[in-house]
Chain A
Amino acid sequence: MAYSNKVIEHYNNPRNMGSFPKDEKEVGTGVVGAPECGDVMKLQIKVEAGRIVDAKFKTFGCGSAIASSSLATEWMKGKTLDEAEKIKNTEIVQELSLPPVKIHCSVLAEDAIKAAITDYRKKTGSNGSV
């Protein structure tokens, strides 16, 4: 299957690949998986004063999953938790021109965003609007 140029671009130059130490208190971690294909995605956020100052990801899966998570970290940076939570998988699909069979990759990225935010809130006991 042919990937769109944007997917290839993210795949070749992934943004924000890597990880933060999980135990740091300003870090939220989300680990999610796609049961259909066995892809696994880890997405982390670093939060300061309710705003995401940095984000990192590690994805073991296909090009679309890597591109989706790369794009997600790019979009999350600078957003408040509430804003980041509103990122929809459909926006990722649109931006990367994902074909129908790869939509689950964008869903995975959306789930990872939510999981990371939830983890951060649980950790700090805050609702993010501090």
Chain B
Amino acid sequence: MLGEKDSFAKSLCWNCHSEVGGEYFCDRCIKIQPAPSQFDYFQRFGLPRHLTIDLQDLERRFHELSRKFHPDFFQRGSDQEKAISLENSALLNTAYRTLRDPILRVGYLICLEEGAVKDIPAKAPPDLLEEILELQETLEEYKQVGETASKKRTDLRKVLLAEQERIGSKEMVFEKELFSLFEEWDRMQDQRLLEKDGQQAHRRSLLQRMKDLLSARTYLRTVLQDMNEGLREHHP
């Protein structure tokens, strides 16, 4: 990991005040240390900022670190040690939950990178918004048509059920496209270590594409959820 060891070396042990050389424990007095606050979730697990993650490896790292920090092991420690172990465990759990899920993972990565690349505006896809608006209007019409059986009601329900399926598969297409960009991102991350020039534009456009896909997916999921609810509550 680039530059990580440097950041460890800068912090002092809260107990013996010597420079902390180890990762989460002081080399000298072996007391537990808080995770450096500038650590992102990837660094917490000693992983590069890649989007493709071996889940078994991640789980193994998670268990290993959990065992180190677990508050149970610090029950007889000082209040400070208890507090640090608790905080490290909580942070580790959040980091694990985020990285384990590919969608949360890419969302988190975009957040991290936005800090570095300056905020990337979320482009709203106008066609998609129009489409969603239309769907919502149909759904509203269906909800208002009343519970009694009528041709209009049957027709609207049929339309909505078909749309439900179409939107569902559209979401899958977006998701697939998003995941296909993971490898491209990882490749770029690896190359970046060797060659620093000319990557900025590519990096930015890749992040932009991922962000757009992620937001398109959110729009679809929201309308899909509304449709599911509407169709369930207003059952034939």
Q: Which residues of A contact B (CB under 8 A)?
A: 31-33, 35-40, 42, 58, 60
Contacts and interface: CB of A to CB of B under 8 A. Distances in A.
Nearest to B121: A35
Given A32-B124, A39-B222, 10 more contacts: A33-B128, A33-B219, A35-B122, A35-B124, A35-B218, A40-B129, A40-B132, A40-B133, A40-B136, A60-B226
Contacts of B130: 31
A128 B220 CA distance: 35
Contact of B218 (A31, A36, A42): A36
Nearest to B123: A35
B219 A40 contact: yes
5 contacts: A33-B124, A33-B132, A35-B214, A38-B218, A38-B219
B98 to A, nearest CB: 16
Contacts of A35: 122, 124, 211, 214-215, 218-219
Interface of B: 122, 124, 126, 128-130, 132-133, 136-137, 211, 214-215, 218-223, 226
The 9 A-B residue pairs with the shortest CB-CB distance in the complex, in nearest-first order: A38-B222, A35-B215, A35-B122, A60-B136, A38-B218, A38-B219, A33-B124, A31-B129, A33-B129
A42 B138 CA distance: 15
B133 A42 contact: yes
Most chain A C-beta atoms within 10 Å of own C-beta, residue among B215, B222, B223: B222
Contacts, number: 45
Contacts of B215: 33, 35-36
Contacts of B122: 35
A82 B116 CA distance: 36
B215 to A, nearest CB: 3
A39 B126 CA distance: 13
A36 B217 CA distance: 10
Contacts of A31: 126, 129-130, 133
Contact of B221 (A32, A38, A39, A60): A38
A113 B218 CA distance: 23
A38 B131 CA distance: 13
B223 A32 contact: no
Given A40-B136, A60-B136, A32 B218 contact: no
B133 A58 contact: yes
B228 to A, nearest CB: 14
Contacts of B128: 33
Interface centre among A31, A32, A38, A60 (most CB of B within 10 A): A38
A36 B219 CA distance: 9
Contacts of B226: 60
A38 B220 CA distance: 8
A97 B61 CA distance: 45
